[in-house]
Structure 1
Amino acid sequence: MIHVLAIITAKPGKRDEVLKHFHANVPAVHAEKGCLEYVPTVDVEGAGAIQTAFGTDTFVVVEKWETMDDLKAHAAAPHMAAYGAKVKDLLASRTIHIVTPHKG
């Protein structure tokens, strides 16, 4: 199983607009082969000192894919290109971490 943590930072004040486009794209992603989870997450309010907050302009997409090939197909999907075109001018940064469970 492949896990992805995509840290998306919008330009100041633009996170809600980016999330609107993101949510509109979610059904297409959920229909993709191998998609097990694809959800945007934001900081928990009131967690205090036990967290390092991402901030009000950032959200983290938590993804789970059956295989790396499924993830690669997702990245190349036409609906992802369309989403990217809609939000490119709204983003300050995007960092993608691809990880897999450690078998100890």
Structure 2
Amino acid sequence: MSVVVVAVITPLEGHLQRVVDAFAVVAPRVHAEQGCELYALHHDADNVIMIERWSSPADLAAHAAGAPIGELNALLADHVEGPTDVSVLESVPLGESAKGTIQ
């Protein structure tokens, strides 16, 4: 069963690009981690949102404890307002399978 994660990061004022740049540093290594099905960054004017999908809870746990996330936390330390708001979600498929879940 896949696990979907939505992480919301609030950059300090004027630090949005630094936060995006930090994710750009680690994303290639995260994409290569076992079980990574999706690791996609988005943003609006105030927040950076990472949408992730992992093959299993064990793969997500390994990712959370891995070196790329340790490096990401260090890179973000002086550029974010507070802790990341992380939601680990269960999919509720609706309607057409290709449109009713995060693929």
TM-score normalised by length of structure 1 = 0.82
Unaligned runs of 5+ in 1: 44-55
Number of corresponding residues = 92
Query: Does the CA-based 8 Å contact 1:3-1:62 persist in structure 2?
Result: yes
Unaligned runs of 5+ in 2: 95-103
SS in 2 for 1:10: coil
Q: How does 1:11-22 map to 2 (within 5 A)?
A: 11-22=12-23
Instruction: State the superposition RMSD in angstroms.
Output: 1.4
Q: Paired residue for 1:71?
A: 60
Once the two structures are superposed, residues 3-40 of structure 1 have per-residue CA deviations (whole angstroms, 9 ceiling, x without a partner) of 00000111111010110111111000000000000011
Indicate the percent of aligned positions where both proteins have the same amino acid: 29
Q: Paired residue for 1:53?
A: none
Q: Of Structure 1 and Structure 2, which has the larger fraction of its residues in helix?
A: 1
TM-score normalised by length of structure 2 = 0.83
SS in 1 for 2:78: helix
Q: Which one has more relative contact order, counting CA pairs under 8 Å at least 6 apart?
A: 1
Q: Paired residue for 1:30?
A: 31
1:6, 1:69 → 2: CA distance? 18
Q: How does 1:82-93 map to 2 (within 5 A)?
A: 82-93=71-82
Moved beyond 6 Å, runs of 4+: none
